[in-house]
Chains A and B, each alone.
Chain A
Amino acid sequence: MRRNRLILAGIALTLATALASLCIGASSISLVQLLAALGLGRPSPETWTNTVITEVRLPRMLLALSIGATLAQCGVVLQALFRNPLAEPGLLGISGGAAFAVACALALAPALGAHAIHALPYALPLIATIGALLATGIVMALARTSGVTDIAGLLLAGVSINALAGAGIALLQTLVSDSALRDLTVWMYGSLGRADWAQLSLGLPLLLGIALWLPREAAALDALLLGEAEAAHLGVNIETLKRRLLLLVALATATTVALAGMIGFIGLIAPHLLRLVFGPGHRLLLPASALLGASLLVIADTAARSLFAPLEVPVGVLTALVGVPLFLSLLRARGVR
């Protein structure tokens, strides 16, 4: 009962944030104009405003919602898997691996001919997933000593993978001076600026798929927080659960990277704030994190494109500005074990 009411309130807040983001930007759009453009009010003669809404801000907002929700839920799952609130796709190098794979694909595609360039947008999520899985595998292997995943090792491995990915992307940028590569920095800092309806056709199914699948794992994720042996004694098949969840997180993170580059800290901030209020139970934490992550990314993206309009700040820069202090305070509070 309480859970349903909280989730309904979260949905209402997210919708309000999303609608507000459609009105805010380089040019302000009134609520009346907005409703008209969405076909809910009197048809408006202002075709320019309509175009800004339906072709620019609406797909961008929807993409921000789906990516924010996905990243936040990936954060929740990783935090349960590693029993540590510091785990996050960006910090663990999963995003870094995906971004490097994307950069490699972008650099190689022109050499493979027109077909490759044409197919690239559809292949990117898959390529990014391979990069993400490789990075996850390496990080896991480095962080595991005699069967125990140690959080200090995990963060160090994540930092190393991220540094390596960053260096690799910078190298590609230097070597290949193709126009396709000029905006490779987008993948380093994240941006929703390339959002359009075609991208959404990838992003929205991802959000829905994950949002529908993960609640089935809520009880097992709760059990994981008790410890792996404890969860196994409660009847959870730990090995298959871990494999399934890591694959899911790698796939989801990779798709967000393919669509909008590396956006860090959403997966850290949203679950952390919610745990403070509602506790760590996943039945509420998963949907609530999805909603808060979605709202946070919409807010961050709206700020990114309006603060210095017409210039645009990479949205990953803004999420990092909020996320890093929180990360450091968490690190200090818990100590690195």
Chain B
Amino acid sequence: MSLLTATKLSVIRSGHCLLRDAGLHLAAGELHVLLGPNGAGKSTLLRVLAGEWRATTGQVLLAGRPLEQWTPLAQARCRAVLPQHDPLSFGFTVKEVIQLGRLAAATRHPGHEKTLLDEVMAATELGALAERRYPSLSGGERRRVQLARVLAQVWDAQQPVLLLDEPVHSLDPAHQHRVMALLRRLAKRGFGIVASLHELNLAAAYADHISLLRGGCILSSGATDQVLDNASLRETYGHDLQFTAVLHEGRSHWLSHTRPAESAAHR
């Protein structure tokens, strides 16, 4: 069953082609990671999938129906979106921010809401911060709170879709892994998740499916092991880089490095 399907998406904004013929297919239970350099079109693709931007050409189907046929409320009940930037500067408590995610919920029975909130806070390990004011949090903590808000939105949905733009941005390595492991568990529960990342190794360790983007195009897309190799990564990030896989406990870990001469020159 396909939760989200995009075909031949192109986006042209102020004369720039931000996305060209991009396609994506997201099944329930799948964690799909978008990799690519800055400006590759990851955020643009997520925005179009989220209905935030309209594609110049192409179509997005949510649970088999074109996005245009959905009301904003119906979309919000099955799909939550974590944007890259977060403009919240007002002093809500952490708990209040997470509760804002429940705005679209069809029925809000107090008992159900309380259980749900507790589950989300436990999953995101935010219990200790529950009463803290949002503006007093660090960048990484804010990121986790916004993620929790997004999770709360579709926690009890039938076929939840998550679109996450750099969910581990400004998180420390331990929290990066915890968040990715959480996404992994959610996928197992039936969530369909698309997330953009800059961390190759997190993608290698947790993703089912990876799409490599560059210059608005999807260069390659497929199962994690099939997509990640030196040639594709150089194609994606630039030929002045080298990528080496290091095997550790049966898993590939990717190192990126420049040629020795260039590294020396940088020093």
Contact surface of A with B, Cβ cutoff 8 Å = 83, 85, 219-220, 222-223, 225-227, 229-230, 232-237, 275, 279-281, 334
Contact of A279 among B86, B91, B103 (CB under 8 A): B91
Whole-angstrom distance between the alpha carbons of A235 and B149 in the complex?
14
Whole-angstrom distance between the alpha carbons of A219 and B91 in the complex?
16
| Contact (Cβ within 8 A) B52 A279 | no
The yes or no answer to B73 lying at the interface (CB within 8 A) is: yes
The yes or no answer to B236 lying at the interface (CB within 8 A) is: no
Interface bits B46-78 vs A (CB < 8 Å: 1, else 0): 000010100000000000000000011111110
Whole-angstrom distance between the alpha carbons of A226 and B77 in the complex?
18
Q: Knowing A279-B91, A280-B92, A281-B96 touch, does A227 contact B86 (C-beta < 8 A)?
A: yes
The yes or no answer to B122 lying at the interface (CB within 8 A) is: no
Whole-angstrom distance between the alpha carbons of A232 and B80 in the complex?
10
The yes or no answer to B93 lying at the interface (CB within 8 A) is: yes
| Contact (Cβ within 8 A) A227 B83 | yes
| Contact (Cβ within 8 A) B103 A236 | yes
Contact surface of B with A, Cβ cutoff 8 Å = 50, 52, 71-77, 79-81, 83, 85-93, 96-97, 100-101, 103-104, 133, 149, 153
Whole-angstrom distance between the alpha carbons of A233 and B75 in the complex?
8
Given contacts A83-B90, A225-B90, A280-B91, 14 further A-B contacts (CB under 8 A): A83-B87, A220-B103, A226-B87, A226-B100, A230-B87, A232-B52, A232-B72, A233-B52, A233-B76, A234-B104, A235-B77, A279-B91, A279-B92, A280-B90
| Contact (Cβ within 8 A) A226 B76 | no
CB distance from B11 to the nearest CB of A (A): 15
Closest chain A residue, CB of each to CB of B53: A229
| Contact (Cβ within 8 A) B103 A234 | yes
Residues from chain B with a CB closer than 8 A to the CB of A279 are: 91-93, 96, 133
Whole-angstrom distance between the alpha carbons of A230 and B100 in the complex?
10
Residues from chain A with a CB closer than 8 A to the CB of B83 are: 227, 229-230, 233
Contact of A235 among B72, B87, B133 (CB under 8 A): B72
Whole-angstrom distance between the alpha carbons of A275 and B135 in the complex?
13
Residues from chain B with a CB closer than 8 A to the CB of A222 are: 100, 103
A-B residue pairs in contact (CB < 8 Å), sample of 15: A220-B103, A222-B100, A223-B100, A225-B92, A226-B97, A227-B83, A227-B85, A227-B87, A227-B88, A230-B83, A233-B83, A235-B104, A236-B103, A281-B96, A334-B89
Whole-angstrom distance between the alpha carbons of A334 and B90 in the complex?
11
CB distance from B179 to the nearest CB of A (A): 19
CB distance from B254 to the nearest CB of A (A): 32
Q: Knowing A279-B92, A281-B92 touch, does A234 contact B87 (C-beta < 8 A)?
A: no
| Contact (Cβ within 8 A) A237 B72 | yes
Closest chain B residue, CB of each to CB of A279: B91
| Contact (Cβ within 8 A) A234 B92 | no
Whole-angstrom distance between the alpha carbons of A226 and B85 in the complex?
10
CB distance from B130 to the nearest CB of A (A): 13
Whole-angstrom distance between the alpha carbons of A280 and B73 in the complex?
24
CB distance from B162 to the nearest CB of A (A): 11
CB distance from B67 to the nearest CB of A (A): 13
Closest chain B residue, CB of each to CB of A235: B76
Whole-angstrom distance between the alpha carbons of A237 and B75 in the complex?
12
| Contact (Cβ within 8 A) B73 A226 | no
| Contact (Cβ within 8 A) A234 B88 | no
Closest chain B residue, CB of each to CB of A276: B91
| Contact (Cβ within 8 A) B88 A233 | no
Q: Closest 5 A-B residue pairs measured CB to CB?
A: A235-B76, A235-B104, A280-B90, A235-B73, A233-B81
